[in-house]
């Protein structure tokens, strides 16, 4: 989205600088001009603001955080829509100046046991408060754990939260797409469900990374990591790092158990057990107060030590050496002949050989049954990873290492799953299939949308026939006057041509009735003001021309074009010729009038005046006029008056 730095949101929040940007929103440092304090404003990207589901999730984040009051949870202070300037859906939060736990781990590496526990306890305390109110965060990870400059630990981004206070749940597909795959619990990956124990699992994975400096699982594709969380057990931290206290090692191992029932039931129990371990490790240390800030080591340049290599587990096969029995002196013939004792021993030996043969045959049968079980029978089944939400390429990459193939059985429209992503699989994630078998999948074609064809200029019948080829409905056909589209043709459609619509959308058509015509009366001989007012109100374009007339009084209509009595199109041009009165005037009697009054009287008759002055009187009056009084002259003629 475009940078809104400098904008004043909702007439209150002045955006100062851009702090971070993600796929859903951009976070700005801002100034609350009303309370004169700095805040963080999270502004949703404009293209997502048109999506009701994303707006709902955005508002749900505000409700989730606002419902919680805890020193280790980022507080939400306001939420709204910018009504002036750039349109924006925004969320106002307290400004935490510092960095994320992810940045801290990238630079500091694995933390000491004491420091790691101090980081983890505030996180679990915040989760305990959320779980107590029935709110599940569903996206606990180092990126959502903030560390202020003062050392205060705070959980942010309740965007995936759900609970009875929020009144909303999410599907398995949306959880996989929106959650962070490295920290998702197995039940979130397989069934898309989450409760407090899912947060415990994510917190356990975060703790594993805090104490060891690495995640328990790694892979080229996110779907592979999700598969490992479902089908493999998170290892003990002691296998990655020495010096881990056994009780802490077992607690994190329990928190990351694949079985939700085996984990601590919520953040409160996790926090209580970890607190007990912390006190046992350092009895002289007082219990940590969450209201106080904890000392945080300053950020330092990231070390250049090489990443720890994964040590492959190699199992050595035991081989059994079968030694051949050596012949004893008793087995040898005496003088080439067998004695009675030798014959008796030979008989016993034959029985032993037969017995060994029976044992070997039994072992062979057992081995055959075992081979059938593993290679052909139920033992040959392979657990299918969850591939919902993955692309065809990602699913193939996840299935190929397991010896499975992917078969696309159907492509289907879906309002929630994007084009090219898998909607469902058979077997579903967690199911089993024969080794070397195939996993069937249905791929999304994205939301079902149809483009409105060009309908303008068609007849109503042609437009209806064209729309019949699409899975839409024809709505109202409304007729209106139009001076641009001929009568009987489509003026426009609603929705308009080119717009993408859902199946069964109703399309309304606007049909032209042609140009509207009106009957025009004749205004010849009538007042020009009346003619101008009535014709203009009727929608005609009126033009007037002034002209002298010896027969029509001034201000009356001399002629009208077109003449009245016939209908004309609305908006047509009508020209009126308006009388200026007679072209001639009579010279008035202005004798004895002052110069000023005489000049005014003659000017009113549209006559030009020339004044001749005689005598020495201070106030002079008209003594002569030429032409003489009563003479008929044309308007514009020159009249000479003498004053003295």
Where in the sequence numbering do the catalytic residues fall? 139
* Residue 36: other Cβ atoms inside 10 A: 7
Long-range contacts of 9-14 (CB under 8 A, 24+ apart): 9/41, 9/43, 9/82, 9/85, 9/88, 9/90, 10/80, 10/81, 10/82, 10/83, 10/84, 10/90, 11/84, 13/39, 13/41, 13/90, 13/92
Strands 541-547 and 573-579 come out as: parallel
Q: Tokens 């400059």 belong to which residue?
A: 149
What is the C-alpha separation between 162 and 133, in angstroms, rounded? 11
Six token digits for residue 531? 């003619």
| Element housing 598 (H / E) | helix 595-604
Q: Measured between alpha carbons, how far is 608 from 639 in angstroms, rounded to an integer?
A: 6
Question: What string of DSSP letters covers 193-234?
Answer: ---HHHHHHHHHHHHHHHHHSS-S---SSHHHHHHHHHHSPP
Residue with tokens 């004695």: 339
**SS3 assignment for 315-371:** CCCCCCCCCCCCCCHHHCCECCECCHHHHHHHHHHHHHHHHHHHHHHHHHHHHHHHH
Residue 488, sorted as left (phi over 0), alpha (psi -120 to 50) or beta, turns out to be left
Per-residue CA distances from 90 to 9, 93, 179, 208 (Å): 9, 10, 22, 35
CA atoms of 76 and 89, how far apart (whole Å): 14
CA atoms within 13 A on the CB side of 380: 15
Nearest to 394 by CA among 443, 428, 445: 443
**Dist. CA 125–CA 129, nearest whole Å:** 6
Residue 426 CB neighbours (<10 A) = 14
Integer Cα distance of 493 and 466 in angstroms: 13
Q: How many residues does the chain have?
A: 644
Closest alpha carbon to 198 in 183, 211, 215, 209: 183
Per-residue 3-state assignment (H helix, E strand, C coil) for 397-419 = HHHHHHCCEEEEEEEECCCCCCC
Distances (CA, A) of 292 to 39, 56, 152, 439: 22, 35, 8, 54
Handedness of CA 389, 392, 397, 402 (dihedral sign): positive
**DSSP at 621:** B
Q: Are strands 517-519 and 567-569 parallel, antiparallel or unpaired?
A: antiparallel
Q: What distance, in Å, lies between the first and last C-alpha atoms of the chain? A: 88
Q: Which of 65, 73, 64 is nearest to 166 (CA)?
A: 64
Cβ burial 525-547 (10 Å sphere, 16+ → b, else e): eeebeebbeebeebebebeeeee
> Please, are residues 384 and 434 in contact by the beta-carbon 8 Å criterion?
no
């Amino acid at each position: 989205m475009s940078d809104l730095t400098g904008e004043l949101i909702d007439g209150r929040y002045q955006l100062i600088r851009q702090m971070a940007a993600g796929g859903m929103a951009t976070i700005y440092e801002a100034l609350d001009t009303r309370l004169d304090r700095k805040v963080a404003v999270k502004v949703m990207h404009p293209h997502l603001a048109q999506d009701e589901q994303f707006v709902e999730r955005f508002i749900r984040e505000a409700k989730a955080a606002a419902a919680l009051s805890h020193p280790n949870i980022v507080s939400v202070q306001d939420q709204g829509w910018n009504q002036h300037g750039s349109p924006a859906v925004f969320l106002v939060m307290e400004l935490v100046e510092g960095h994320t736990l992810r940045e801290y781990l990238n630079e500091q590496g694995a933390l000491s046991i004491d420091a790691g526990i101090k980081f983890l306890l505030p996180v679990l305390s915040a989760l305990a408060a959320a779980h107590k109110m029935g709110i599940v965060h569903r996206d606990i990870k180092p990126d959502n754990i903030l560390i202020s400059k003062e050392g205060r630990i705070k959980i942010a981004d309740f965007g995936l939260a759900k609970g009875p206070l929020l009144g909303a749940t999410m599907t398995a597909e949306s959880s996989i797409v929106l959650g962070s795959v490295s920290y998702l619990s197995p039940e979130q990956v397989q069934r898309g469900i989450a409760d407090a124990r899912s947060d415990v699992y994510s917190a356990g994975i975060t703790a594993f990374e805090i104490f060891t400096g690495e995640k328990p699982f790694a892979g080229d594709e996110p779907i592979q990591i999700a598969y490992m969380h479902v089908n493999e057990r998170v290892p003990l931290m002691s296998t990655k790092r020495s010096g881990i206290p056994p009780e802490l090692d077992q607690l994190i191992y329990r928190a990351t158990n694949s079985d939700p029932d085996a984990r601590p039931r919520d953040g409160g129990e996790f926090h209580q057990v970890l607190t007990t371990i912390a006190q046992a490790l350092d009895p002289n240390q007082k219990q940590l107060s969450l209201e106080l800030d904890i000392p945080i080591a300053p950020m330092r340049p990231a070390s250049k030590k090489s990443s720890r290599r994964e040590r492959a587990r190699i199992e050595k096969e035991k081989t059994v050496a079968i030694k051949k029995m050596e012949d004893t002196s008793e087995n040898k013939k005496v003088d080439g002949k067998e004695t009675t004792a030798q014959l008796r021993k030979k008989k016993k030996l034959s029985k032993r050989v037969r017995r060994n043969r029976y044992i070997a045959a039994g072992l062979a049968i057992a081995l055959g049954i075992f081979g059938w079980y593993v290679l052909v029978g139920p033992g040959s089944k392979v657990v299918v990873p969850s591939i919902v939400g993955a692309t065809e390429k990602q699913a193939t990459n996840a299935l190929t290492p397991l010896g499975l193939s992917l078969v696309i059985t159907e492509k289907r429209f879906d309002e929630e799953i994007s084009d090219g992503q898998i909607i469902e699989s058979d077997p579903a994630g967690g199911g089993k299939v024969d080794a070397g078998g195939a996993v069937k999948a249905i791929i999304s074609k994205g939301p079902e949308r149809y483009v409105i064809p060009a309908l303008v200029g068609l007849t109503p019948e042609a437009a209806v026939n064209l729309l019949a080829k699409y899975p839409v409905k024809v709505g109202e056909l409304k007729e209106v006057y139009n001076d641009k589209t001929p009568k009987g043709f489509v003026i426009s459609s609603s929705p308009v041509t080119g717009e993408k619509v859902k199946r069964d959308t109703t399309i309304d058509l606007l049909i032209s009735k042609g140009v509207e015509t009106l009957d025009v009366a004749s205004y010849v001989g009538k007042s020009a003001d009346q003619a101008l007012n009535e014709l203009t109100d009727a929608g005609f374009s009126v033009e007037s021309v002034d002209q002298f007339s010896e027969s029509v009084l001034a201000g009356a209509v001399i002629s009208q074009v077109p003449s009245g009595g016939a209908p004309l199109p609305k908006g047509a041009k009508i020209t009126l010729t308006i009388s200026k009165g007679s072209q001639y005037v009579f010279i008035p009697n202005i004798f004895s009038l002052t110069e000023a009054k005489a000049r005014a009287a003659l000017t009113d008759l549209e006559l030009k005046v020339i004044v001749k002055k005689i005598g020495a009187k201070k106030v002079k009056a008209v003594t002569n006029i030429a032409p003489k009084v009563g003479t008929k002259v044309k308007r514009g003629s020159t009249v000479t008056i003498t004053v003295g």
